[in-house]
Each structure stands twice: as C-alpha cells, then as structure tokens.
Structure 1
Amino acid sequence: MLDPRLLYTFNPALWEQMRDRRPVLIHLLHGYVDAGQVSRTIADHILATCPSQLLVEFDHDQLHDYRSRRPMMVFDTDQWKSAEKFVLAMHLVTAPGGEQFVLLSGPEPDTQWERATAAIVGLAQRLDVRLAVTSHGIPTGVPHTRPSLITEYASRPDLIRSENPVWVGRIEIPGGFGAYLELHLGQGGVDALGLAVNVPHYLSQAPFYQAAIAGLNRINEGTGLALPLGDLPEKAETNLHEIGSEVATSEEVQQVVEQFERQYDQAQSDGPLPSAEEIGAELERFLAEQDRKDDDK
C-alpha cells in the first residue's frame, strides 16, 4: 500500500493548536447508505452555522470515480461557466460554547479504501480523538407521522445509550465507506459511535429533515457540543406538510402509512418488531435504487 500520509495536506498551525485537546471527530460522508440525506444535511448545516477552518484536505482526485459520480457543470449560451468540485476534508469547527471539534465531510472515496481508511484512522490517532461519531439514515418500515427513532451501534457496547427498540438484528449488506471507517476506528483504539436514523423507506431518496434533527440532537447528547438546530425545525415542518399533502392524494399510500403507524406503536409497547429479513429487504431495495441512479449518471 502506498503511504497513506501522501493522500492529504494539512494546516500545521491549526494542527499544533489541537495538541492535547482530545477533540471529538464527527464524520458525515455522502455515502452509499444515507436515506433521507441525513449525513449530508447535518454536515452542510454544521458548516453553515458554525465557524470553521480547513484542517486537512484529501487529494480526492485519487479517490473519486468521475464516471460513476460525474460533476455537474453549467453551460450558458456559448461557453462552459463552472464545474462542481468534489472536496473531502476535515474542518476544525467551533461549537457555540467555544469547544472545537473536527468534522470530516464530503463524498465517500470510490477507490483506495484501505489507504484512505489508514490515513483517516492515523489522523484520528495523532489527534487523540476521544470519540468518533457519525449519523446517517437507513430506510425502514416506519411512518413519517411519528418521531424518528435511532438505531445505535458502537465499538464498545457501553457507548450505546438509546432506549429505543432494536429494529435491526443480524444482517449482511454491501458496506459504505463510513461503516468501513467506523469498523477500523474501533480496531485502531478510537471509540466510535454510529447513529442510524430510521427513515420511512418511501422518503429515502429526498431530504427528510425530521431525521436530520434526530441525528443532530443525539450527536449533541453524545458529545456535549450543543450544536444549533438553526432553521432545521422550520424546514422539517414544511417538509412534513408537503409529505402530508402528497400522501393525501393516494389512498394506497395512506394505507401503507397507517400500517406503519400501527407497527410503530406496537413496537413502542414492546410489540412485534420487523425481522432482520424485512430490514434487509428494505436496505436491498434502497441499495438497488442507488445502483440504478449511479448507472444512469
């Protein structure tokens, strides 16, 4: 394997500033499994609401498959005006209370997973990260009319604090880079916590702000950072109103939502839960849709 340290450049002054700080690392990548765009929404929101400085930038040109995820370009009248730039980076972010933490965000690597993982784990170890946290959405048979539940998983069982019902048993699915990274962070001695927000499978392709709020609130609880919600509640209210209007136009969809409501309420009362096979089937459908979207690009 080529030297992982050659995959990135960093700001030496900021790096020195983080010495002996033991920061939190929040990693939110635009990945393979992110129903409701939870990771992307939280990452964009943090960078929009908190002061940040570029700490580490990865040479994403080595990691990106441009034929799989092509950059959007703007053509105007008789010339090309701009092209989307893919950026995978760590930012040093300052929370409202003054505590600084590290945010890793951007597209997940398409290639060189072992090398990219070694680079990120090495950076986390040198920063002496005290906790690495991620949040993303998983498509599940839940209704949009109920609070978003979170399935927690961690490198150590005592890091899990949720009292929500366990909605996932043992399943085997294609891995995303965020999950691959979390596995290796734990193996490298970095405490790692994952927050999978349950997103209605019929909303998995569009932003679902209620789920993003649930993920951000749990990040705040686990880290003590008190990151602001900003305009997310207003976006969630508008989002839910639009969803309700759409659902009202289809009797079939209304029946599906009502079925999920009954299932959700039973689960909250220790009733029957979806099986691992049912969860796996939902994930397989979601991943198949992702593959079709990639093929169409």
Structure 2
Amino acid sequence: MIEPSLLYEMDPEVREQLRGSRPVLIHLLEGYVDAGQTGRGLSRHLRRQAEHQTLVTFDHDVLHDYRSRRPVITFDTNTWKSASALSLEISHATDSLGQDYLLLHGPEPDTQWDRMVAALNGLVEELDVSAVVTAYGAPVAVPHTRPTLITAHSTDPERFTDNPRLIDRVDVPASFSAYWELALGGQDRLAMGFAALVPHYLAQATFHQAVVAVLERINAATGLALPMGDLPDRVAANLTEINTEMNSSAEVLEVVSSLETQYDAMQLRPEEYLPSADELGAEFERFLADQAKDDE
C-alpha cells in the first residue's frame, strides 16, 4: 500500500488549536443512498451555523472516478465558463457551548478505500478523536405524519438496544462510511451512526424532519450541542408543502393512512414483525410510477 498519509495535507495552525480537545469527528459523505437528503442536509446545516476552518485537505483527484461521477461544467455562448469544484476535507468548528468538533465532508471516495481508511485511522489517532459519528437517511415504508424513527449502530453493540423492528439483519452494498466504521471497530475505536427511517415516497426529496432527528441523536450520544438554528422552521414549511401536495390525491391519502396504521401498531407491539411493510412500499412505488407516467 502507498503511504496513506500522502493522501492529505494538514493545516498546522488549525491542528494546534485542537491540541488537548479530544474532538468528535462527524463524517457526512455524499454519493451513497441518503433518503430525504438527511446526511447532506445535516452537513449543509452545520456549515451554515458555524464558521468552519479547513483542517485536512485530501487529494481528491486520486480518489474520484470522474467518468462515473462527472463534474458539471458550464458552456456559455462560445466558451466554457466554469466547472463545479470537487473537494474532500475535514473542517473544524465549535458547537453552541464552544466544544470542538470535526466534520468530514465531500464526495465519497470511489477508489483506494483501504488506503483512505488507513489515512483516516491515522488522523483519528493523531488528533485524539473521542468518537466517530455519521448520519444518513434510509428509505422505509413509514409515514411522514409520525415522528422519524432512528436505527442506530455502533462499534459498541451495547450502546444502542432500542432500534425499531422495521430493520433487522440485511445484506446491502457497502458505503465508505460503513466500511470505515467496521474497520474502526476492529481497532476498538468508538464509532456510531444514525440512520433516519425516511418515508420511501420522499426518498428523492428533502425531508428536514429527518435532519432534526439525527441531529438530536448525535447531540444526545456525544454530548455536543450542535445548534438547531432555523431547522424547526424548515421542518414546518417542508411538512406543509408535503401535506398540500398529498392532500390533492385520495389514493395517496389512503396509502399514507395504511402506513400510519402500521406505524402505530408497531409502536404498541414492537416485538412483532410486520410483514406488510414491503407490500405497502411496493403499492406506493407503483402508484408514484403511474403518476410519473401520467405526467409525461
């Protein structure tokens, strides 16, 4: 393996500010399944709420597959004007109480995962990171009219034992974040993640309620005081928009009502497996597909 530390450069002045602080490192990478734009929304929110200083810059050019995920480039009249910038970095900020934390953000690496994991593990050790945390959205057959459920996971299995029964054992294609968390567990490092269970019919939309749900769980699990800012207002406006759109269709309301019944039953009898979830999800997906065809 090529020396992992060659993948990045670190700002020594920002590094010095962190000495002795044992920060939490939050990683919110783009490019994998993220229903409701939960992880992306949280990343944007955190960067709006506090000034972030770049601590580590990764050599993204060797980690990105440009033909798989092409940058957007703008042509104007008779010349190429600009191209979207791609960057992968760890930034430093403080929460509402002045506590330091780190944020790894940017596109998920396409290549050299083991080398990137080694680089990050070296940084976790050098920066004396106290915990590594992630958050994202998973599409599930649940209604938007109920509180957002969270499936939590950790390298310490005893830390979270109250997950909803909608998700048990499952094989899925790996994200880099999951791959890294697995590696951290092999080194007895504390890592955890929070998957917001987002209504599958909102998987491609923005669902601010999920962002609030994961932010609250991160604060509770780490002791951070990440600010809510304007998120409550965004949630209210988002739900109003969703309800307005769905109230225009009796068929949609019927499916949402079925999901509400299922959700409420699960809360009353969490020990029972609910086999109708896939059926309800398939029904709604067929409905949305039919709607899309009608709009063409």
Scaled by the length of structure 2, what TM-score is found?
A: 0.89
Distance 1:114 1:276, change over 3 A: farther
In structure 2, the residue corresponding to 1:157 is in which secondary structure?
Answer: coil
Number of aligned residue pairs: 281
Q: Aligned partners of 2:257, 2:117: CA distance in 1, in Å? A: 42
Q: Decide which structure has the larger Cα Rg and report it.
A: 2
What displacement does 1:250 show?
Answer: 2.4
Aligned to 2:219: 220
Distance 1:175 1:119, change over 3 A: same
Aligned to 2:255: 256
Aligned to 2:288: none
Residue pair 2:141, 2:277 contacting (<8 A) in 1 also: no
Identical counterparts, % of pairs: 49
Residue pair 1:124, 1:190 contacting (<8 A) in 2 also: no
Residue pair 1:168, 1:275 contacting (<8 A) in 2 also: no
Aligned to 1:289: none
Aligned to 1:174: 173
Distance 1:255 1:135, change over 3 A: same
Letter in 2 for 1:67: R
Verify: 1:241 aligned to 2:251, yes or no: no
Residue pair 1:90, 1:105 contacting (<8 A) in 2 also: yes
Would you identify which runs of 4 or more consecutive aligned residues in structure 1 move more than 6 Å? Answer: none
Q: Root-mean-square deviation (CA), in Å?
A: 2.0
Letter in 1 for 2:180: L
Distance 1:262 1:106, change over 3 A: same
Residue pair 2:150, 2:196 contacting (<8 A) in 1 also: yes
Letter in 2 for 1:85: A
Letter in 1 for 2:44: D
In structure 2, the residue corresponding to 1:92 is in which secondary structure?
Answer: strand
Q: Aligned partners of 2:276, 2:175: CA distance in 1, in Å? A: 19
Question: Residues 124-179 of structure 1, C-alpha deviation per residue, up to 9 Å, x if partnerless?
Answer: 12212111111100000100000101001110023227x45332111101111111
Residue pair 2:144, 2:199 contacting (<8 A) in 1 also: yes
Question: Residues 188-238 of structure 1, C-alpha deviation per residue, up to 9 Å, x if partnerless?
Answer: 222011101000001101111000110111111112221111111111111
* Bigger mean CA deviation after superposition, 69-78 or 48-57: 69-78
Question: Residues 29-84 of structure 1, C-alpha deviation per residue, up to 9 Å, x if partnerless?
Answer: 11312111111110111011112110001011111111111112223333222211
Q: Aligned partners of 1:100, 1:211: CA distance in 2, in Å? A: 24
In structure 1, the residue corresponding to 2:103 is in which secondary structure?
Answer: strand
Letter in 2 for 1:221: A
In structure 1, the residue corresponding to 2:104 is in which secondary structure?
Answer: strand
Gaps of 5+ in 1: 286-297
Q: Aligned partners of 1:198, 1:221: CA distance in 2, in Å? A: 18
Scaled by the length of structure 1, what TM-score is found?
A: 0.89
Matches within 5 A, 1:149-228: 149-160=149-160, 163-228=162-227
Question: Residues 250-281 of structure 1, C-alpha deviation per residue, up to 9 Å, x if partnerless?
Answer: 222222211110111011112544459949x9
In structure 2, the residue corresponding to 1:197 is in which secondary structure?
Answer: strand
Distance 1:246 1:277, change over 3 A: closer
